[in-house]
Amino acid sequence: MNVHDSERISGLLEQAGYERAPAGDDTPDIVVFNTCAVRENADNRLYGNLGRLRPVKDKHPGMQIAVGGCLAQKDRGDIVRKAPWVDVVFGTHNIGALPVLLERARHNATAEVEILESLDVFPSTLPTRRESTYAGWVSISVGCNNTCTFCIVPALRGKEKDRRPGDILSEVRALVDEGVLEVTLLGQNVNSYGVEFGDRYAFGKLLRACGDIDGLERVRFTSPHPKDFTDDVIAAMAETPNVCHSLHMPLQSGSDDVLRAMRRSYRSERYLGIIEKVRAAMPDAAITTDIIVGFPGETEADFQRTLDVVREARFSSAFTFQYSKRPGTPAATMDDQLPKEVVQERYERLITCVEEITWAENKRLVGETVEVLVAVGEGRKDERTGRMSGRARDGRLVHFATETVDGESLAGQIRPGDIVHTTITYAAPHHLNADGPPVAHRRTRAGDAAEAGRSPRTPGVLLGLPTIGAPPVVAAPAAGCATH
């Protein structure tokens, strides 16, 4: 979500007449920090960066520094009190105000702090400068109606606001028209999409409607929530050819007691039941997750339940986190906070368990031919190994060799955004290698755009009126409703 917000910030500033500073320019006219408050230490890192910029700004009068995002929403005026050389502070609900705030701060020669309590305009109506030529984020909702006790998101992003299906599909089409092959539908809880306009099947319909967009080759989404996951979404994933068979579904804990304390209203049985249905409908599905270790009150028996679920679910990858307090969340003041050593020790056991499984799951792909959407390279590592990289349809990272059987290198011909078919020869816990010659290479419009140095821009004005709040019900295209 934050990465996509940064794309909007770039788009807005470019529309306001600013130009991107060349790489390596250490005295740009404006520096914007888009902060995140989900991980620990975000504030230390922000104030550290601001401290380093102070002498630069002192030497370059007129330089402006802006701070936005979740930490700005949380700390508000504290930021300019602690770092009075900051010019603008803006929140998660008013990204669109940034150019005006910069202008006002310059004109009045004083810091501007503007934080709104709810959304100003739906952020997807803002111009966006996309970082990728081949893959794009598309917001379907912002905010969250859940109250997980460890999470700061509802306090900083507000209640769920759903975007109208027609606006979402227009943005997807606009991206595809620019050559984008893959979209990721974004929401804090995609499964509750439609709650605002009273359609609990809206997300499945949206996936099916994406299936009707010519030229759109891959559809992904993040994140689903086990509480709201309905079977029609599994059917839509299985029956819509361009929807990828990959599912990132946060588990957080395998213990029902811990889930209760986290105020996550599903239980491990329901979680595993969803996975079973996904596997029955899509045997090739790659399932990934998020897990928190060491939540207050977690016992060794609770932790063992998490390991049990990890073994049963057979994840292809997992983001693992050590619980740490977030001021402002209910869990921060719970009794039974665990000592750091206990959390660390469980965390290490969890990583070992997860890697054993992800490695075994990856090894099952050795010998299979996979379709890879070529990504911008992994820099020097790819140069050293002579490989290129990309993601398979199931989301796995693949490093592939570019030499043909005749020893000719295709490296100069394969561009980011092209599609390559290649056969997996080696599996590691976190990636796959394909060291034989590519089986096939397809040049794409996304590859042409990458070669020409063009990145897609979606001007907000083309996407319909800035609509927030309870939108009118808009029927999804016929095919999208076929089964309902």
Q: Is 146 in the site for ligand SF4 (CB under 6 A)?
A: yes
CB of 144 to ligand SF4, least distance (A): 3
CB neighbourhood size of 465 (10 A)? 11
Q: Measured from the CB atom, is 19 or 117 closer to ligand SF4? A: 117
Tell the smallest beta-carbon distance from residue 195 to ligand SF4 (Å).
13
Rounded distance, CA 391 to CA 431, Å?
Answer: 10
For tokens 């059917």, the residue is: 235
The whole-angstrom separation of Cα 459 and Cα 126 is: 7
Q: Which of 189, 268, 402, 422 is the binder for ligand SF4 (CB under 6 A)?
A: 189
Q: How far is the CB of 295 from ligand SF4 (least distance, A)?
A: 12
Q: Give the CA angle between residues 88, 94, 99 to the nearest 5°.
A: 50
Looking at the Cβ atoms of 101 and 190, the one nearer to ligand SF4 is 190
Q: Is 144 in the site for ligand SF4 (CB under 6 A)?
A: yes
CB within 8 Å of 63: residues ≥ 6 apart: 27, 28, 29, 30, 31, 56, 57
Give the residue with the Cβ less far from ligand SF4, 133 or 188. 188
In the complex, minimum distance from the CB of residue 331 to ligand SF4, in angstroms, rounded to a whole number = 11
Q: Dig out the tokens for 15 from the structure.
A: 């529309």
E strand or H helix that includes residue 136: strand 135-139
Sign of CA dihedral 105, 109, 113, 116: negative
Nearer to ligand SF4, 80 or 151 (CB): 151
Q: Which stretch binds ligand SF4 (CB under 6 A): 68-76, 150-158, 198-206, 379-387?
A: 150-158
Round to whole Å and give the CA distance between 424 and 158. Answer: 44
Cβ proximity to ligand SF4, 259 vs 397, nearer residue: 259
CA 170 to chain centre: 20
User: For 433, phi and psi rounded to 5 degrees?
Assistant: -115, 145
Q: Please, what is the minimum distance in Å from the beta carbon of residue 458 to ligand SF4? A: 25
Question: Residue 186, interface with ligand SF4 (CB under 6 A)?
Answer: no
- The answer to whether 79 and 67 are in contact (CB under 8 A) is yes
Name which of 332 and 376 has its Cβ closer to ligand SF4.
332
**Min CB(132)–ligand SF4 separation in Å:** 24
CB of 252 to ligand SF4, least distance (A): 8
Tell which one of 89, 126, 138, 148 touches ligand SF4 (CB under 6 A). Answer: 148
- What is the nearest approach in angstroms of ligand SF4 to the Cβ of residue 146? 4
Strand pairing of 128-129 and 112-114?
Answer: unpaired
Strands (E), 299-386: 317-322, 369-374
Q: How many residues bind ligand SF4 (CB under 6 A)?
A: 9
Our finding on whether 151 is near ligand SF4 (CB under 6 A) is yes
Rg (CA), the chain: 23
Should residue 154 be labelled a site residue for ligand SF4 when binding is judged by CB under 6 A? yes
Binding segment for ligand SF4 among 49-57, 145-153, 291-299, 406-414 (CB under 6 A)? 145-153
232 to 261: interface string for ligand SF4, x by CB under 6 A? ------------------------------
Q: How far apart are CA 433 and CA 424, in angstroms?
A: 6
- 153 contacts ligand SF4 (rule: CB under 6 A): yes
Q: Which of 225, 248, 393, 415 binds ligand SF4 (CB under 6 A)?
A: 225
- Residues 6, 188, 317, 362: which binds ligand SF4 (CB under 6 A)? 188
Q: Which residues contact 251 (CB under 8 A, 6 or more apart)?
A: 226, 271, 289, 290, 291, 306, 309, 310, 313
* Site residues (vs ligand SF4, CB under 6 A): 144, 146, 148, 151, 153-154, 188-189, 225
